[in-house]
Every structure is written in C-alpha cells, then in structure tokens.
Amino acid sequence: MKKQIAASFQKFHIIPHDLDETGDLKTECKAQLGEGVRLADWNDIVAYLDAGGSLDEFIDALKIPLEYVTPEDMDPIPNTAFRVSMNGELHWRGNRHYFFARHDHKLRGDFLAHRNLENYKLSLGSWFGKGGFALCYGDPEGTVAPPEPEITAPPRTSGG
C-alpha cells in the first residue's frame, strides 16, 4: 500500500497516516515508502543541523506550518504536528507519541517541550491523537533503511 509523499527534502519525507498513538509508525513508513526508509528520529534532524544544514531550508522545503495563530492559543491548528521517534522510542510516558511542531521561538503556553532547536523554532513534544503526518527518513528507492541515529541524553521526564 504505497501512498503519496506530502513533501520531501533530502532524505526526509512527510507522509500522511491514520494511526492513533498506539499505532506503529515505524512499520507505516516502510509500508508506504519501502524498505529503504524508516521513521525519522528527532536525532536525525539534529544530525542534519550539526552537519551544517539549515533549519529554515528544512522548514520551507517540508512546508511545516506554524502550530498556532497566536502563542496564547491553547489548542494547536490541526495537522501541524509531525510524528517522529526520540532515541528510537515512539512514546514518552505511556502512549504520548513524540512529534515536532514549528513555534518560531514562541512556545504555546501549554506545550511541554522535551527538546527544541534554535531557541524553540522547532520543538519536540508528545501527545495523544489519531492521524496526521509522520516524518520518514531514507531513500524510497533503496532496499536497506539508514542506520538509527546516535542516542542522546533522554528527554526530561519531569516538569523542570
């Protein structure tokens, strides 16, 4: 069951999905894009930046919209979050799936950011929900998925 890629940039590919927080997005990336792709990890984005990549180019090429109209909004605009893993894990604390969202340096008041890039231009969060988008990583024409990225310090597990 191959589906259309919503946007691509280098080895990053956004796909739509209809899974809830318990669904296996690692399998979904392969089902939609083939064996040469895996679910992107937050650390893949970090590695791209560490190698000299531009976060602005990443955001523009993948058409990542701002998550809110104003930072005071308590609910995000639908379909502005992109599911990823963190250190290879799909979830934080139970079934809160990892995702990233664009904040342009102003976090929504109720957004729990586990990590961020460039002073909250992009933020890693976790929440529940069904459907939306996932970020996959690799070569859809390839036959072997890229290796998993290096594991970094775990995301914070308390409010502080």
Sequence spans of domains, the chain: 7-138
| Closest C-alpha among 43, 26, 35, 1 to residue 134 | 26
Alpha carbon distance 91, 66 (integer Å): 23
Say which amino acid occupies 1.
M
**pTM assigned to the model:** 0.92
Give tens-digit pLDDT for 26-37: 999 999 999 999
- State mean pLDDT over 75-81: 91
- State mean pLDDT over 65-88: 93
**Cβ atoms within 10 Å, residue 118:** 11
pLDDT of residue 158: 42
Residues 6+ apart with CB under 8 A from 155: 86, 87, 92, 114, 115, 124
The dihedral over CA atoms of 130, 135, 139, 145, expressed in degrees to the nearest 10, equals -70
pLDDT of residue 2: 59
Helix H or strand E encompassing 56:
helix 55-61
Per the prediction, the chain carries an average pLDDT of 91
pLDDT of residue 155: 53
Contact (Cβ atoms closer than 8 angstroms) between residue 135 and residue 12: yes
For residue 152, give both structure tokens: 């970094």
- Tell me: pLDDT of 12 over 90: yes
